Amino acid sequence: MTEPAVLGRLAGLLVVGVILQTAVISQVTVFGAPIDLFPLVVATVGLLLGSLGGAAFGFAAGLFLDVALLQAVGVTSLVYTVVGYGAGRLLELRDPSHGLAPMAVGAAATLAATVGFAMLTFMLGVDAPVSLLLVRQILVTVVVNTLLALPVYALVRRILHPLLPEDPRRRRRRASTTRLSPLSRA
Amino acid sequence: MYDRTVRRRRLTLAGFVALSLILLTVWFGESAGGVLHSLQRGALAVLAPVQEGANRAIAPVRDAFGWAGDTLDAKSERDKLARRNRALEEQVTRQQFQLSEFAQLKALEQVNAANDLERFRPVRAKVIGQSPSLFYSEIILDRGSSEGIEEDQPVTGAGGLVGRVTNVVGNAATVTLITDEEFAAPARTTRGGVAGTIRPEAGTPGDLVFEFADKTEEVEEGDRVVSSGSGSVRFPSYFPAGIPIGKVSRIEDGAGELDREIHVRPAADITNLQYVTVLTSVPEAALTATADPAAGATP
């Protein structure tokens, strides 16, 4: 696979993801909080591609969302850049291969994204009180995204799968198979 | 090589962060017709139809999720409304209780005023205890000797005579009701002035019998019965004349005049007393005087 193929798939993921998020997913609410899967998507891309890919995808996704939703351009891109970069750094430093790692990363990414977005919004002068409702919405979003982290991770990994020679799960499976195979001893 | 990678990574992060901040600054700095605002409007024009199509296509799925969410919300709303309903029911119960107390107090005042009982220095007391017996023969009041209450003082309730004080302590008193088996009081009917003794009907709580009447044939159903003062030597009266006791509810004919049994329904609702009045200052003269048959007491 070539670099343009990676970019093509990422761009497709980005466009379809933003359209689905804004047109459909955001309209589904759980306990009064709209579902926001984009922190999960950004964190998953970072977890699969590394810090550079994560930061770039996060920036692009945030920019696209800001433009599509007519928000202050730069806020979401700044937050998602940090989220994507952080998830990518986790891959580079720890290389998490545990099956539940995406859940932990998804929860952390969602918490960072929601809190970061709220803080930036307040710093930019949005006249809204820091209420218990906001805290509840953040917590609900984190819980929902934690539960959805594994399916989202599986979906994004499936989309980017052919482009990921360093997929930790595949690498782990390969290493374990190699050790157990009688052929490897010969 | 490693340094170059690290530098490249950090540079990329710094670049994207800087770019985001620049975009933010430009967006806030420019007018509504600026580049970024125009770009947003253009993107909206392009994306809107796509979003609409996606919205329509996935509407059933979204509705299914929405239904699930609405169900959860509805359950939460139901629980909230149930709590509110319980609170309102408690409030209504409290208000109904207060209303019933008010009605009793009003009736009590009416009885006192209509029968000129104010002159006996009435002390209003709340019923704080009642015999659990089916016969309701005793009640406990929240006022005692500190309020001037003494034994044998008459007690009236909403409607009429209730009983007399039988035990007193500093801050409480017990009242033996007119339905107690040992109760007896001289009485007379307001129509015709037939004199007799009022006693409880054995084994029938809430029912009184008008006994030893001199002219039973003159008594009719619906006649009002009031206390008559000590007209009888056999039963010394504790009650001044003129306090409503009840109304003749039925008359059972026997073989002769003496076998006629006149039943009286108490004017006061003995089973539901919340407030009563103790007549704390009844002069001896009022206890020995007889009721004027012509006076129409108000039960």
- List b or e across B110-139, with b for residues whose CB sees 16 or more CB atoms inside 10 angstroms: ebbeebebeebebbebebeebeeeebbbbb
Higher pLDDT, B131 or B211: B211
Statement: residue B198 has pLDDT above 70: yes
Check CB contact under 8 Å for A56 and B58. no
Q: Tell me the C-alpha to C-alpha distance, in Å, between residue A143 and each of A41, A108, A111, A124, B58.
A: 16, 10, 9, 27, 24
The structural domains of chain A, with segments of one domain joined by +, span 3-185
pLDDT digits (tens, 9 = 90+) for B107-137: 878 877 877 787 888 898 888 887 665 555 7
What count of CB pairs under 8 Å joins A to B? 98
How wide is the angle at C-alpha A150 spanned by C-alphas A148 and A155, nearest 5°? 95
Cβ neighbours of residue B201 closer than 8 Å, sequence gap 6 or more: B207, B208, B209, B263
Which DSSP string corresponds to B20-83? HHHHHHHHHHS-TTSHHHHHHHHHHHHHHHHHHHHHHHTHHHHHHHHHHHHHHHHHHHHHHHHH
* Contact present, B197 and B186 (Cβ < 8 Å): yes
- Whether residue B288 is predicted with pLDDT greater than 70 in this model: the reply is no
Query: How far apart (Å, rounded) are the C-alpha atoms in residues B90 and B67?
Result: 34
Using CB atoms, pick whichever of B8, B27, B61 lies closest to residue A73. Answer: B27
Per-residue pLDDT at A125: 73
Question: What pLDDT does B234 receive?
Answer: 56
List, for residues B24-45, the tens digit of each pLDDT value.
889 888 887 888 888 888 888 8
Tens-digit pLDDT profile for chain A (186 aa)?
Answer: 446 777 888 899 998 888 888 877 877 777 777 888 899 999 999 988 888 889 999 999 999 988 888 788 898 999 999 999 999 998 888 877 787 888 899 999 999 998 998 888 888 876 555 677 778 888 888 999 899 999 999 998 888 877 665 555 555 555 555 555 555 554
C-alpha gyration radius of chain B: 41
Q: Is residue B200 helix, strand or coil?
A: strand
Name every chain B residue with its beta carbon within 8 A of the beta carbon of A20.
Answer: 54, 58
Q: What is the average pLDDT across B149-178?
A: 89
Residue A77 confidence (pLDDT): 92
Contact residues, chain B, for A62 at CB < 8 Å: 20
Element (H, E) at A112: helix A101-123
Which of B11, B19, B20 best probes binding to A when mutated, by most A CB atoms within 10 angstroms?
B20
Here the tokens at position A18 are 């933003």
Contact A59 B23 (CB under 8 A): no
Cβ pair B153, B283 in contact under 8 A: no
Whole-angstrom distance, CA of residue B83 vs CA of residue B221: 51
Q: Collect all residues from B whose CB is shorter than 8 A from any CB in A.
A: 8-9, 12-13, 16-17, 19-28, 36, 39-41, 43-44, 47, 50-52, 54-55, 58, 61-62, 65-66, 69, 72-73, 76
Q: Is the pLDDT of residue B217 over 80?
A: no
Asked if the ipTM is above 0.95, the reply is no
**Second-level CATH architecture of A3-185:** Orthogonal Bundle (1.10)
Please give the average per-residue pLDDT across B283-293, as a whole number. Answer: 61
> Strand, helix or coil at B299?
coil
* CA–CA distance, A47 with A41 (Å, rounded to integer): 10
pLDDT at A171: 57
- Relative orientation angle of helices A132-160 and A101-123, to the nearest 10 degrees: 130
